[in-house]
Structure 1
Amino acid sequence: MKVMRIYKEGNPNLARIACLLGGAVWGVFWIPLRNLDEAGISGAWATAVFHTLPILLLLPVIALRTSRFRLAGVLFQAVGFTMGLSLVLYSTAFLYTDVVRVVALYYLTPIWGALLGRIWLKEQISGDRIVGIFLGLIGMLVILNVDQGLPLPQNGGDWMALAGGVIWAIAATLMRQKPQVDALTTLLVWFFWCSALAVILALFMQSDRALPQFNAILNQLPWLLPLILLIVIPGYFAITWGTPQLNPGTSGLLLMTEISVGTLTAAWLTSEIIGPREITGIILITLAGLSEVLLPALRNALRWTRSS
């Protein structure tokens, strides 16, 4: 089937679209996490529950793929570990600082990704990518009120977001070195490491080491299970399938659509105010995410116009 061939062999254009959609899903990621936190599943426990449920739902698939986990090797587990650690830090950061600060600091990722791609994979930083990085950085500085001082981390949540972005760039680079592992297997290992590391972080951060009440978790399942099945798992799968096909800097730029979605939803659902500054930043960051799609298309259109 054509779908299976694309899944196995990849498609650069669809990979870019997958990363764009995955970024949009991550843009609303903070909403269920804060709902869980308000329901008594606090701190990193919210992250642990959010990523343990997919593992439980996918147990039949895991049972069929145990041999693939063994054959993948240490590098594959390193990919899962870094992806899991990045997302745990990013997820938990939403519970300790503002949404806009989390997404902005996390999405310095294209800088780290482009540098790692150049140093580690010996890949050139294209002109389109430089334009995207430039637009993205300006957009982030606008949103973070650069005129009031440098947008440096101010609390634990800020530091978690920044560290998560650096670690995600490492994960994306490792994924480029292990492209033969299929996306579904990567997804399962990602969820495993997310849940395991989130539990460790929760035990480390909470002095009383109290587990969330089981009834509190049960009460959230009617809305949480459909969300995981219809949005979370497909969104994460899009990222695990699309990211290995792209340069780390490219995938980071495309995933920056999350900043726009996260800022808009935060302005809509929280007390965070969105004004001309925020709108300007959102436009710049969205253009950054689309730069490697729009600029080649624009050049092709200009060539076609001149030749006709």
Structure 2
Amino acid sequence: MTTIASSAPSADGATHYEPQWTAALFILVGASVWGISWYPYRLLAGWGLGSMLASSVTGAVAAVLAAVVLRRHFPTFQWSWLIPALGLAAGITNAGFVWGTVHGTVMRVLLLFYLTPVWTALLARFWLHERLGLRGGVLLALALSGAVLMLWSGQAGTPWPGSAAEWAGLIAGLAFACNNVLSRLAGQRHPTMRPEMRTVVVFTGCALVGLPAAVLLDGVQTVPAAITQTNTWMLLLGMACVLVGGNAMVQRGLQRLPANRAALLMLFEIVVAAVSSALLTSERLSMPEMVGGACIILAGALSGLSRRK
């Protein structure tokens, strides 16, 4: 997933004077990429390539592409413990997101993933010493209430995830929150490192975490025959190009927009996922699930609005 975090101002004059509506458009396009990305992974799983192996290969190709495109920024790279931590968090985020949306109900998994503001606020309180405040507490309660309502209306009849796919979405959201907070720490401690370097770190983490996840989650023991098919590689390469482009657009937008406004725009991913899942699958949410999901989205939106200056 794309990192939403503070970015250092760009030294590129064109970026500095870029209109905010253009930056917002970049982020909307990047969010749209992730809102539809579940479908190609389902196609690959149907062709015999496990979702985690597909995720790992896509991440590896995307990391190589990003490294080639962004090679002029490598002199700004600075090593610290935050780099492997970011890669690990990004890898877990991607693995949970992909596996959950491939094997579960897209919208339920995605809404559980978007409990991210809850975990971000709690982690920021302990890692960044940011105060939550009364308003933040109310918004967290709203998001959690929405999650309870949505989960209680599911087949399990309990206020917690009822399937492995839903647990994967929840864990992915927690890992995404870790990624966001760690990215902000990296920006504070390494202000001269270009934010584009995080793109390479993110995709490298996706590639490395995807391999053990393929064994643990998909039970891959041997290389699937689908990996030798031309159509498989065409789709993998196409996905890698689109993901790198989408991530680069979001990073470009983050250089011009405040992170909290960018987080609001990233909620457009849910809209794209809702439309795509309705058109491409027979999955539908019940009324209580939609109400609970609306509470989660509203809490995320109000969280961003309440922090705008």
TM-score (norm 2): 0.75
Deviations 1:23-46 (A, max 9, x none): 443221211111111122113112
Q: Displacement, 1:82?
A: 1.2
2:282 is matched with which residue?
271
2:259 is matched with which residue?
246
Unaligned residue ranges in structure 2 (runs of 5+): 1-9
1:161 is matched with which residue?
169
Q: Displacement, 1:193?
A: 1.0
d(CA) in 1 for partners of 2:289, 2:153 = 12
Worse-matched range after superposition: 153-162 or 126-135: 126-135
Structure 1 position 233 matched with structure 2 position 244: yes
Q: Displacement, 1:84?
A: 2.0
1:220 is matched with which residue?
232
- The answer on whether the counterparts of 2:263 and 2:304 sit within 8 Å (CA) in structure 1 is no
- The answer on whether the counterparts of 2:58 and 2:239 sit within 8 Å (CA) in structure 1 is no
- The answer on whether the counterparts of 2:44 and 2:51 sit within 8 Å (CA) in structure 1 is no
Q: Displacement, 1:172?
A: 0.8
In structure 2, do the counterparts of structure 1 residues 16 and 169 end up closer, same or farther at CA, with 3 Å as the change threshold?
farther
Deviations 1:245-285 (A, max 9, x none): 636xx766654433333233212211112565566556555
Number of residue pairs matched by the alignment:
294
Q: Select the residue among 181, 185, 191 that pairs with 2:197.
A: 185
1:77 is matched with which residue?
84
The amino acid of 1:55's aligned partner reads: A
d(CA) in 1 for partners of 2:85, 2:306 = 34
Q: Give aligned-pair identity as a percent.
A: 26
1:60 is matched with which residue?
68
- The answer on whether the counterparts of 2:92 and 2:209 sit within 8 Å (CA) in structure 1 is yes
- The answer on whether the counterparts of 1:109 and 1:169 sit within 8 Å (CA) in structure 2 is yes
Q: What RMSD, in angstroms, separates the aligned Cα atoms of the two structures?
A: 4.0
Deviations 1:105-142 (A, max 9, x none): 21111111111122321223367756655554555555
d(CA) in 1 for partners of 2:53, 2:89 = 19
Instruction: Give the SS at the match of 1:154.
Output: coil
d(CA) in 2 for partners of 1:176, 1:11 = 24
Structure 1 position 47 matched with structure 2 position 55: yes
Deviations 1:31-87 (A, max 9, x none): 111111112211311211222221233342365455444x23221232222122211
In structure 2, do the counterparts of structure 1 residues 88 and 103 end up closer, same or farther at CA, with 3 Å as the change threshold?
same
User: Where do 1:1-308 residues align within 5 Å?
Assistant: 4-5=12-13, 21-61=29-69, 63-69=71-77, 71-125=78-132, 133=140, 136-137=143-144, 139-141=146-148, 143-144=150-151, 146=153, 149-179=157-187, 180=191, 181-207=193-219, 209-213=221-225, 216-229=228-241, 231-240=242-251, 242=254, 246=259, 255-274=266-285, 280=291, 284-291=295-302
- The answer on whether the counterparts of 1:97 and 1:157 sit within 8 Å (CA) in structure 2 is yes
Q: Displacement, 1:144?
A: 4.2
The amino acid of 1:235's aligned partner reads: G
In structure 2, do the counterparts of structure 1 residues 27 and 128 end up closer, same or farther at CA, with 3 Å as the change threshold?
farther
d(CA) in 2 for partners of 1:292, 1:208 = 40
- The answer on whether the counterparts of 2:31 and 2:267 sit within 8 Å (CA) in structure 1 is yes
d(CA) in 1 for partners of 2:178, 2:100 = 19
